[in-house]
Chains A and B, each alone.
Chain A
Amino acid sequence: MKDFGYSINKDKQIDFDDNNKEVMNKVLRMEPSLQVCIACGSCTATCSAGQFTGFNIRRVHTFLRRGEVRFLKKEIMKCMFCGKCQLVCPRGVNLRNLILALHNSLEINGL
C-alpha cells in the first residue's frame, strides 16, 4: 500500500463484552486513593521511566477505567518505582501502591 504519511486509526468503540472491569474494582479496593484522581497528568510529566520510553501512567489509568486491561501488564513493567509521581500528585494519590495493586490485581485475574 502506498505510504501517505498517515494511517487510519483502528475503531475506538468500547466493547463492553470484551472489557474487564474486575481489575479496576480490585485495584480500587486495594488503593482507594485512586478515586480522587483528576487525570491532570502531573505523574506522567515527571515520570523517570517516561524520560526514556513511552510509559504513561495517566494512559494506564484511562485504559484501566475502560476495562481495556490486556496491555497494562506490559506497560507497568516499565515503572522504576522511584516515587516522583507520588510527590507531584496534587490529589495525594498513592501511586507506588497503585502500581503494586495493579500488578497483584492483574496477576489474580491471570492477565
Chain B
Amino acid sequence: MTFNFFVLPFFLGLIFVVFYIIKSFAKWIGDLDDEDKTKFRNGLRSPKLFAALSEIFFECLLHRRMFRKNALLGYMHMSFAFGWFMLILVGNMESRIYSGLWVNPPYYPIFLKFFIHDKHVLPFEIFSVPGFFRFFMDLLLLFTLSGLVLAILKRSRSRWFGFRHTTKHQLTDRVAMFCLWMIFPMRLFAESFTAGAYGYGGGFATQHFGNLIAFLWPLSDKMIAYAFWWLYSLSLGIFFVTLPYSRYMHIPTEVLLVVFRNFGITPKKEYSGYSEVEVFSCSRCGVCIDTCQISSSAGIHTIQPVYFIQSIRDQQVKPDIAMQCMVCGRCLDACPVGINTDSLRIMQRKTFFRDHISDYSYLPKAVQIPKTEVLYFGGCMSHLTPSIIVAMKKILATAGIDYRMLDEDGSICCGRPLVLAGKEEQAKTLMKANIERIMASGATTLVTSCPICLRVFKEDYQLDLKVMHHTQYILEIVKKGMIPIQSYFKRVAYHDPCELGRGCGIYQEPRELLRKVADLVNVEKENNEAFCCGGSLGLLPLSGVQKDQITKDNLKNLLADQPEILVTACPLCKKTFAKHSETEVRDIAELVANSLPAINGKTGNNSLQRQKDSTFRMKAISI
C-alpha cells in the first residue's frame, strides 16, 4: 500500500505552493520590459545559465555570503537550505530503490519510512546500497536538526550570530517559522517511533533513538508513530500554504533573482517585474538593520529596508518610512541577497510627488560657450567650500591645461538631489539645461569635484564624453608628470564619500593619489563599508540632532588613529565634518594644491585671465 490519508496535508500544500510559484514566476517574467525579456530568453540558451546555476548552488544552498558575515549564521542557513535540499534529493534516490520506478508520487520519498520497513538492513550497514542511503539520510537529518538548534538559539542569543537588532516579524512569518521548525523534529520522531515499534527499519540515529523510546516508554506503539506522521505531514502542509504569504517566499524567488542578475537584467527606474522579484526575495533576515546608521546612530529601528520592503509587499508604503533614508548604499552592500534597496526606495518616493510641479523657466539660455578641451564643474556644494575650487584652479593652471569652469557664477543643480527625493521628472529640466551647456563647450573631458554630480552625470546624462571625478583626473595628471608634487609626510585618514565609493565604485584612485602626497592611515570601516558623513541629500525628515550624531559617530571611526588631517573627496562631506571635527578637514585637491609651488609670473596671470574670461562668459549666459 503506498497511500495513507495522512499524506494529504502535505500533498495538497505542495500542489498549492507549486502552482502559486509557477503563477508568480510567469507574472514577474511577463512584467519585464521587452529588452529584459529578450535578455532572459537569450540567457537560457547561453553559458550564463551555468554561472546562474553555480551562484544558486553557492548562495541559495551553501550561503557563502552569510558565512562571510558570520560563521554561525552561515552554518545555520546552510544546514537548513543545503540539508533540506539533500534530504529531498537523496530521499528521492532512496525511494527509487524500493519502488523500482522512475516516477513516484511526490509524498512517497518524504514518508518512505512509513511505507517501507526494510528488515534486511542494519543501522550501521553502510556498504550496501540501501544501507548507505539509510545511513546518509539519518546523517542529513541530524545535520538539518543542528541548524534548528542554532535557529532556536538565535532567538535569544542573536549577538552570537552577529546581530544587535533583529527583525520584528509578522504573524504569518511566525506561523510559517514555527511550522518550518516543527518539520524536522516531527520527521525524527515519526521515523524513530516507527523504527522503535517495528524493531527494525531505522537508520543509525532513528533506530537507536526509537529503541530507546520503546525501552523507556513501553506503551509507545504504531498508533503514536502514526500520530507523529500526521504532525509531520501537517507541519509540511501548513508551511507550504503559509509560504507565499510569509518571508519564506524568498526561497523560490531568490533563485529567480539570481537567474535575472546573471542574465544581465538590472534594476529599472520604474517599478517592474524585476523590482517585484527583489521585493519577494527579501528574507527579512535583518542584516540591514545593524548596517543602517539611522539605526546605530539615530536610534530609529523601524525604517530599514527590511520593513520598507515589507511595506511594499503589503502595498502599504508610508512616506514616513520611504523618506527616512540617506540612500548611502550601506544596506545594499551588506544585503546577502543583493537587493538594490536604494533604487526600490527612490521608485517609491517618486509615487508621492507626482503632483509637485516645478518651474525652472528662469534658467538662462545657453549661449556661445567658448570651446575647450577640459570642462570643470564645481557643483553647488563646491561653491560652499570655495577652497576646493581654488585648489582645482591652481592644479589645472600649474599643469598648463586649457580648461573652462562651467559654473563660475553659480551652478545649475545637477538634478541628483531632486532624483534622490523622488522628483525625477522635475530634475529632467535641470539635466537638460546642464547637458546643453556641457555639449556646447565641445569638451572631451568633464571633471567634477562633487561625487553627487559625478554619479548623475554618469548614470543619467548619457554624455558622449569622459566624465571624471577630480581625484581621478588629478591622478592622471600626476602620473603624466604634469605637476611637481611633493609629499607632506603628514598622517591623514581618508573618508569614502558614499556617492563616490559605493555609488561610482571609485575607491582606489583617491587612495593612490593620497599616498603620493601624504601618509595614509587605515580606518576600521572603509571602502565599501565606509560610514556616511550624515549630510546625505537622500535624507529628508531626520532632525538636526540625529544627523549630528551620525556625523559624530563617523568621526569617531575616522579619527580613531588620530590622523593630523581628515581627507575626503566630496564638498558635502567636507562641510558636514568641518562642523564637528576638531581635526582639520581637507579635500584631496587642497592637499595636492598645497604641495605645489606657488603660482608666479606668467602662469598666475594666465589663470587670472582665464578667471576673467569665464566670468565674462557666465555673465553672457545670464543675459
Contact = CB atoms under 8 A, between A and B. Distances in A.
B411 interface: yes
Contact of A80 (B357, B417, B535, B540): B417
Contacts of B355: 107
Interface stretch (A17-25, A64-72, A95-103): A95-103
Chain B interface mostly: loop
B412 A94 contact: no
Interface string B514-547: 0000000000000000000001010011111100
A83 B417 CA distance: 8
A77 B430 CA distance: 13
A60 interface: no
Nearest to B362: A53
A46 to B, nearest CB: 7
B381 A52 contact: no
Given A48-B411, A80-B430, A96 B544 contact: no
Contacts of B575: 87
Given A48-B410, A84-B383, A77 B357 contact: yes
Contacts of B409: 51
A93 B360 CA distance: 24
A103 B352 CA distance: 11
A107 B542 CA distance: 22
Contacts of A97: 540-541
A26 to B, nearest CB: 14
B316 interface: no
Contact of B421 (A31, A48, A81): A81
A77 B357 CA distance: 6
B175 interface: no
Interface in B549-600: 572, 575-576
B364 interface: yes
A37 B413 CA distance: 25
Q: What is the interface residue range for chain B against chain A?
A: 35 or more
B423 interface: yes
Interface in A1-52: 31-33, 46, 48-49, 51-52
Among A46, A81, A92, max chain B CB count under 10 A is at A81
B544 A100 contact: no
Given A48-B410, A52-B410, A94-B540, A81 B417 contact: yes
Contacts of A81: 413, 417-418, 421, 423
A87 B572 contact: yes
A8 B384 CA distance: 39
A78 B420 CA distance: 18
Interface residues of A, number: 28
B417 to A, nearest CB: 5
Contacts of B381: 82-84, 87
Contacts of B572: 83, 87
B362 A77 contact: no
Interface string B290-327: 00000000000000000000000000000000000000
Contacts of B418: 80-81
Among A48, A53, A78, A96, max chain B CB count under 10 A is at A48
Contacts of B384: 46, 84, 87-88
Contacts of A46: 383-384
Contacts of A96: 417, 421, 537, 540
Contacts of B362: 49, 52-53, 78
Contacts of A88: 384
B128 interface: no
Given A96-B540, A103-B356, A52 B413 contact: no
Nearest to A54: B362
Nearest to B420: A81
Interface in B381-404: 381, 383-384
A94 B543 contact: yes
Nearest to B427: A81
A48 B380 contact: yes
Contacts of A107: 355-356
Given A48-B411, A81-B418, A100 B540 contact: yes
B6 to A, nearest CB: 58
B462 interface: no
A82 B417 contact: yes
Interface in B472-507: none
A5 B544 CA distance: 47
A51 B535 CA distance: 23
Given A48-B412, A52-B363, A80-B430, A33 B380 contact: no
Nearest to A53: B362
A29 to B, nearest CB: 12
Among A74, A88, A94, max chain B CB count under 10 A is at A94
A71 B364 CA distance: 23
Given A33-B544, A83-B537, A84-B380, 11 more contacts: A33-B543, A51-B410, A52-B410, A77-B357, A78-B358, A80-B417, A81-B418, A81-B423, A82-B413, A87-B572, A103-B356
Interface of A: 31-33, 46, 48-49, 51-53, 74, 77-84, 87-88, 92-94, 96-97, 100, 103, 107
Interface of B: 353, 355-360, 362-364, 380-381, 383-384, 409-413, 417-418, 421, 423, 430, 535, 537, 540-545, 548, 572, 575-576, 622
The 7 closest A-B pairs by CB, nearest first: A92-B544, A51-B410, A53-B362, A80-B413, A77-B359, A82-B413, A82-B380
22 contacts: A33-B543, A48-B411, A51-B410, A52-B364, A52-B412, A74-B359, A80-B360, A80-B413, A80-B418, A81-B417, A81-B418, A82-B417, A83-B417, A84-B383, A87-B575, A92-B544, A92-B545, A94-B541, A94-B544, A97-B540, A103-B356, A107-B356
